[in-house]
Amino acid sequence: MSKLSRRRFLAGSLAGCAAVMAAPAKNALASGNLAGFPDGMGVLVDLTRCVGCRSCEAACNKEQQLPAPDQPFDDYSVFDQTFHHGTQKRRPTEKAYTVVNRYESKLSDKPIYRKIQCNHCNEPACLTSCFVGAYTKTKEGAVIYNSKVCVGCRNCMIACPFHVPAYSYSSATDPVVKKCIFCYDTRVKHGKPPACVEICPSQALVFGKRAELLKIARERIERHPGKYQDEIYGEKEVGGTSWLYLSGVPFEDVGFDTSLQKEPIINNVKDFLATVPMVLAIWPALFTGFHLLSTKGKKHGEEDQHAEKHEGGEQ
Amino acid sequence: MIRNLTWHIKGVLLLACCLFLALPAGAMDSPEALTIDTLADLYQGVEFDHQMHVDLAQDCSACHHHTTGTGTIDLYCARCHDSMEEQATVACQDCHLADPFSAAAIQAKGETNHFHVDIYGLKGAYHRNCMGCHEQMDGPTGCQDCHARTEAGDAFYHSGKFAPLAAGATHEEH
């Protein structure tokens, strides 16, 4: 009788275990394929159109009410600035959520300019790395953050595959992470384009639904053979980004990281993370059950006797 | 004899003038000059010498696509716009939206036909239309070569009298 129930118990517990394991794994896979919100907005950046005027930097500064720049926005000597012994060009900072850099390529007789800002990933690594949940991916596509709950741990700065979030090191009392928010509060939420897109004199930036922008980008590549690289940067990178790029020269020539995985960053740890609740919640109950069953046949008296013997031995 | 010759030359010149005026019907009522200032804000409007550009351009359609009744030099556009009729409007701002990324414009974009989805807004159209030729033909390409910046523009770019005090000083921000 007791043997049969134990067998049943084991079979039942194994089946339950398998069901628990299968369920989160399935969810994890499904969310890993998220292609962004269906009507999510984005920006298509065409590097062949950018003239390097830095108007987008000025517009961002004004819109986000950032501190005055160190140099005027019509000072093009900033393109010569390099950091870390010439290995790094300008990057977004707490005072500038977007910067334009100049690049040279063997395939172009003219310099190429590239605007850098948050790419607003479909599955943001900053968001998943944030343990206070400061980040939000809005249905409009913007990756925004709540600086009131930010504790300044800077996990997001390490997690971001594009090295975008900056930190307000200048603030001794309340340092927080700072980055481009797609002009969410003041513009995108209300159906208006970001300030940088609106100011661009060359229409190097096109604001629209991400799905439509992909179509436009493919059409440009098709209509102008030889003008563009046959690739849209951001279509697949780290699971896709709201900001997309077209370039006339190889993307690595203009500072893009072309070695990034096509899967969202979170997919690297999702399978493991799915097992954590199972281990924490199921294992204690399961092994307690095993223990209770394995000790069921034994009478308490035996243990008592054993204890008495043990005590007697000591005496 | 000499008088006759000069009379003949005069006649030929007169005829040539008539033909020149008669042939490009669109160019005949085209403006000599115009001020492009609908978007003027950070920069002043542009005093545009239209006649000079008419003389320089080989074809009206180099700038006006298929609207001036001179056909189109873009084979892609010619597939639909092969008619030689002058359109009701030839002004840039009548096709190129001043506000191309408004919610209404983006909504309409999804509903419009397949081909006019990726057209420039007005500002982009002006600049891109000019820049290609200006680079090839050594025309002006600097911002203030065509339109002077306003005081609002100086404030926007933190330049001129709005320049930062420590302008020119570079220091590491990272």
* Domain regions of chain B by residue span: 22-161
Cα distance between residue B165 and residue A122, in whole Å = 41
- Compare CB distances from B174 to A53, A78, A91 and report the shortest one's residue: A91
Those residues with Cβ within 8 angstroms of residue A308's Cβ, 6 or more apart along the chain or in another chain: none
Each residue of A221-232: b (16+ CB within 10 Å) or e?
beeeeeebbebb
Rg over CA atoms, chain B? 22
In contact, A39 and A239? CB cutoff 8 Å: no
Phi, psi torsion values for A145, nearest 5 degrees: -145, 155
Q: Which residues pair with A209 in a beta bridge?
A: A41
- In angstroms, the separation between the Cα of residue B163 and the nearest Cα of chain A is 6
Confirm or reject contact between B165 and chain A (CB < 8 A). Answer: no
The CATH classification of domain B22-161, taken from the options 3.90.1150.10, 3.90.10.10, 3.30.70.360, 3.40.30.10:
3.90.10.10
- In angstroms, the separation between the Cα of residue B83 and the nearest Cα of chain A is 22
Cα distance between residue B104 and residue A192, in whole Å = 10
Which chain B residue's Cα is nearest to A199?
Answer: B123
Global pTM?
0.79
**Residue B96: what residue type?**
H
Residue A184 has pLDDT above 80, yes or no: yes
B159/A69 touch (CB, cutoff 8 Å), yes or no: no
- Compare CB distances from B117 to A191, A192, A216 and report the shortest one's residue: A216
A209/B110 touch (CB, cutoff 8 Å), yes or no: yes
Confirm or reject contact between B159 and chain A (CB < 8 A). Answer: yes
Residue B117: predicted pLDDT: 86
- In angstroms, the separation between the Cα of residue A223 and the nearest Cα of chain B is 9
Which residues of A fall within a CB distance of 8 Å from B170? 70-71, 78, 81
What is the full DSSP assignment across A231-294? --BTSSGGG-BSEEEE-SS-GGGGT--TT--SS-TTHHHHHHHHHHHHHHHHHHHHHHHHHHHH
- Compare CB distances from B101 to A62, A95, A193 and report the shortest one's residue: A193
| pLDDT 10s digits, A194-253 | 999 999 999 999 999 999 999 999 999 999 989 999 999 999 999 999 999 999 999 999
Residue A119: predicted pLDDT: 97
The closest of B50, B81, B49 to B65, measured between CA atoms, is B81
Q: Which of B96, B99, B118 to mutate to test the interface with A (most CBs of A within 10 A)?
A: B118
Q: First CA to last CA across chain B, in angstroms?
A: 87
Residue A301: predicted pLDDT: 56
Instruction: Name the one residue in this structure whose structure tokens are 């040279």.
Output: A104
In contact, A234 and A119? CB cutoff 8 Å: yes
* 3 state SS of A103: strand
In contact, A176 and A150? CB cutoff 8 Å: yes
Going from N- to C-terminal start, the domains of chain A cover 37-266
Q: Which residues pair with A206 in a beta bridge?
A: A44
ipTM confidence score: 0.78
| pLDDT 10s digits, A34-83 | 566 888 999 999 999 999 999 999 999 999 999 999 999 999 999 999 99
Q: Which of B158, B165, B170, B171 to mutate to test the interface with A (most CBs of A within 10 A)?
A: B158
Each residue of A159-189: b (16+ CB within 10 Å) or e?
bbbbebbbbbeeeeeebbbbbbbbbbeebbe
Mean pLDDT by 10 residues, chain B (174 residues): 52 46 50 90 94 90 88 83 84 92 87 81 94 91 93 96 71 45
Each residue of B77-109: b (16+ CB within 10 Å) or e?
eeeebeeeebbeebebeebbbeebbbeebbeeb
In contact, A178 and A167? CB cutoff 8 Å: yes
Q: Where are the alpha helices (DSSP H) in chain B?
A: 2-22, 25-28, 50-56, 61-64, 75-78, 103-111, 122-136, 143-146, 151-156
* 3 state SS of B94: helix
Confirm or reject contact between A82 and chain B (CB < 8 A). Answer: no
A51/B131 touch (CB, cutoff 8 Å), yes or no: yes
According to CATH, the topology of domain A37-266 is: Alpha-Beta Plaits (3.30.70)
The closest of B58, B148, B109 to A207, measured between CA atoms, is B109
Q: How confident is the model at residue A302 (pLDDT cuts 50, 70, 90)?
A: low
Q: Where are the alpha helices (DSSP H) in A109-192?
A: 125-129, 155-159
